[in-house]
Chains A and B, each alone.
Chain A
Amino acid sequence: MKNEQDYLKDIAAMRSLMERSSRFLSLSGRAGILAGIYALAGAWIAIKVFGLEPGKLIPYGTGEIILRLTGVALVVLCLALGTAIFLSVRKAGKMGEKIWNPVSRRLLLYMAVPLVVGGILMLILAARGEVFLLAPASLLFYGLSLFNAGNFTYTEVRSLGLLQAALGLLGFAFPEYGLICWAIGFGMLHIAYGIYMYYRYER
């Protein structure tokens, strides 16, 4: 017959299995911090190098600056994604998990739907010249995507998503401060979230 210790071990094993099989826990807090730094650097370049003035709308039909800003945004995105994937693979390896499993597939699917819808909307906005709405739109749909993701990874990701979406709405209300909202959301919120997660789960 089993004794109390055995039952406690049973329970611990069950809890860990339930969690591992339903949540992707290889996300790294450091990836959030770095993503935030890239975003702040991007915003800095937009203001200092391309002369974007917060509080002023970009005039319609200035194609070249839009192209440059899109370039900066894409570089920030690629760096952030690359870092997140790299650090997740490393963390998964340390925990003896596979990075490509049913949970990570589900996580990506639920993140992808809002992101793809938002991406298409952003292309439409860009094609119609509503360029000052691009930053808030990216925040809004990224936030919704994170809110979804929170079901399949750390629940804190949900709150981060809601905050990003709220900033996105704020950006729609005050488009002239879109870049500031973008820097707060993609920059500072990511850094704050990353530091919190790092201290809570990884130390």
Chain B
Amino acid sequence: MLRSSDTRFSGELWIRRSLWEAMQSCEIPSEELVEAPSFRDPSGSVIVRRDRVLRIVNSEGTRDFKAFLESRTAQKFVAEGQVVGTRSVDVDALERFPFENDSKGFSSHDADAIVVEHDRIPFRNYPYEWPPEMLHAAGVLTLEMADRLVDDALGLKDATPYNILYRGATPVFVDVLSFERRDPADPIWRPYAQFVRTFLLPLLVNKHFGVPMAQVFSGRRDGLEPEEVYRLAGPLKRLTPAFFSLVSVATWLGKGDPDKGEIYKKKALKNAEQAKFILRSLIRRTKRSLMRLEPTRNVKSNWSGYMHTNNYTEAHFLAKDRFVESVFREFVPKSVLDVGSNTGHFSASAAKCGASVVAIDTDPVVVGKLWRRAKDEKLDILPLVANLSSPTPAMGWRNRECPSFLERSRGRFDCVLMLAVIHHLLVTERVPLSEILDLAADMTTDLCVMEFIDPDDSMFKRLVRGRESLFAALTQPAFEAACEHRFEVVRSQHVDGTKRWLYLLRKKAQCQVN
């Protein structure tokens, strides 16, 4: 018995190690490797390359995986785009891939293993880059799946936002190995505590204490514990309905002897119908808790009123709008990065011209507003909370699970918008102009639309606050000269009556990413 399990385990290890080695080997150009294979789930691994996402499901996971794919609910989910598109791949076809040696290896060691290919999500994104609205929508999707799968005797192994990626403004469940066959007599929703930690409590602390998602998830992959939130809340708050059952009762019940292994033992009721009723009721009760934590609309922040408080008159803004839109119409970029998107005026116009847009801003409130707009108007915009001056770092085990924002962005866009941004980077962040242009050239494969703001501009002056001498050499000709190293100026336009110029820049051939 021991022997057979040993063999199985060593076979699995062999597959994993060899795939990993193939990923690391020089056979795959380094820029094509965008993510290390997943390893947390013993049922399989994922390999993400620039244009393809392959998943190897080993013998441990095939039965659950097939049961899920064959269920009517799953087929509906895939058809509706709630679960990522999944197709089986012929193992022999893997020989076309650089890790061809593995295809032979794993087929001989693990005859039951299968390989599937998933639709690629254009730009991977993680909960620490989402505004609360997006975490909430991901939670709604998770619970909807758990609820609808009950009838097919299927369920979720885990309930974490890392199972979900956003395609534009739409959440898509991508971790298809999270589905498992359930014992219909088991009334307990096992991922409940994880759902509370990774969805409900982060939303709760955001709603009541304004803690951003980045702060919750950047240091805690598995979210917040009730005990942590209990300490944050005062004695009165702990007794309010929002905190009472989720935080206080959970904390009180968790006190005492921690050795409560008994409660995790699988429970099976004699009456499967009763078990189903209990399970459904638990999931629906959790959904009601989630709906109560829906982020408030129309929250105000420093930046939410920017479109009305900037120093542009209507005529100036119209001129800028016309310039930017003409770029979209003339060059029809396919993928656009809008840096400092605010509520996404230009992101929306790029999306309306057919581009797939990633819009970043540092303010979760404006990013949340943009997400609502993109969702309501069905615009292909992925809004993320990210700061270009301190981009999201790589996260997870060995910093390889979730690549950094820059790793994901490098050469990913054919047009980068940096409108009303560079003065913040130059003055507030003290980043030299040449560095800003280098970064822009790193992210775009072709175009960059940049707004040059003269140090005499009122907004520039407001940021400088007595350090004018530092920017004495920053003139429009100096800006153009700095651009010349990486870009050619396709066209530029002075916004009449302002100290601002708009530039359409094209990346020079020697700077092109191979």
The answer to whether A and B come from one shared complex is no
Chain A positions within 8 Å of B, measured between CB atoms, are: none
Chain B positions within 8 Å of A, measured between CB atoms, are: none
